[in-house]
Amino acid sequence: TLIFLVGIVAGSYPAFFLSAFKPVEVLKGKLKMGMKSSAIRSSLVVFQFTVSIGLIICTMLVFRQLDYLQNKNLGFDKENVIVVTNTDRLGSNAQAFKQRLRSLPQVLSASFSTGLPATAVDSELFIPEGTGQKDNLLAFLTADYEYLSTLAIQLKEGRNFSRAFPSDANEEGGAILINEAAAKALGWKNPVGKHLISQRGSGQSQEIVGVFRDFNFRSLHQKIQPLMILFTAEGDYLSVRVKPGATRQTVKALERQWRVYAPNTPFDYSFLDENFDAQYRAEQQTGKVFTVFTGLAIFIACLGLFGLAAFTAEQRTKEIGIRKVLGASVLGLVQLLSGDFLKLVLLSNVIAWPLAWYMMDTWLRDFAYRTPIEPGTFALAGLLAVTIALLTVIFQAIKVARTNPVHSLRTE
């Protein structure tokens, strides 16, 4: 809306202003501009380029943040992971299906779980045993032995779930893995071997056997929260890590095996990286919108600048003719004609920079993890605006500067 308003205002001013001119004066080149009209002209140019520069900065920062979101080290590897859903429909065939997939040459590992990055997880009250603390509400998911290795989540201390410890898989009182944030929230520097009392079931204590590194389970809008992993042999999701470059090929192999073990259930899958990146669809849409309106704003600004530059050059035709007679060079005349507009664009930078910084700083506050706002972004946007303005004005400036002074000094 703002961009269209700029276009309407910018287009209306020359139309109304020029309609008031007397044809005879126009033809004789005697058209004069007052201080008021000159101020309006300058204000329009400044306004147009302020909007354009601001949008350029915002667009650059939106895409920089998107690049940051998609390439930040999340603490796990989301690439080359196929997520098979509806695995609860496998029933008693779940383990056989998993083992069959693991035998495929392109499959590196597979893991059942009830939660994955970018999916919702449950929360439950736990009491740290022997601390006197009240209940702690902790997010948790359940997963099997291969969960950490399949997602490439690093173990910081202790051990992973292990078949060598049958008690890990106990339905009541089984083992627990926690992240670093959970250890900090519980106030334990050395949590391995400590116990948590669950508020579900019989309320038996469960031993913490390992601490895994923090990873971004949710989008980067949120900070890493305390998270626990309880053991389960099966779950709602089957994550399958495949060799790089074999993803599409493996999907077909998975579907063939699915039809063997769950013939009456549709095969449904997704890719972990796409699931995680889908959390930023709003930001991606924002980037596209900014790109379109930035291009439109620049076009309108250049159109207005081109018209006003031509108009200004026409008003100074006799002055330029006299300067040429007195020995002024084409380069000197181009600098003379473009200098005033360059000052206006530089002023636009001064106005646009703090406004754009405020807008983007406010927008980036929605992210717990954000790209820094660097001065180079503003300098690059300013340089781009100056370059566009100069290219727009120089054409008219050169045209007028190369005009024969005899024609410009002749009076009809």
> What pLDDT digit, counting tens, does each position of 218-239 carry?
989 999 999 999 999 998 999 9
Model confidence band, residue 202 (pLDDT cutoffs 50, 70, 90): low
Pairing of β 136-143 and β 227-231: parallel
| DSSP letters for 251-298 | HHHHHHHHHHH-TTS---EEEHHHHHHGGGHHHHHHHHHHHHHHHHHH
Reported pTM: 0.77
* pLDDT of 316 above 50: yes
More confident position, 202 or 166: 166
> Rounded mean pLDDT of 297-311?
78
For the segment 264-279, the average pLDDT, to the nearest whole number, is 92
- Helix, strand or coil for residue 358? helix
- Residue type at 317? T
Predicted confidence at residue 137, as pLDDT, reads 81
Cβ–Cβ under 8 Å, residues 45 and 308: yes
Average pLDDT over residues 261-287: 90
Place of tokens 């024609």: 407
Residue 312 or residue 78, greater confidence: 78
pLDDT above 70: residue 328: no
Cα–Cα distance for residue pair 95/101, rounded to 1 Å: 10
Closest CA to 67 of 220, 225, 247: 220
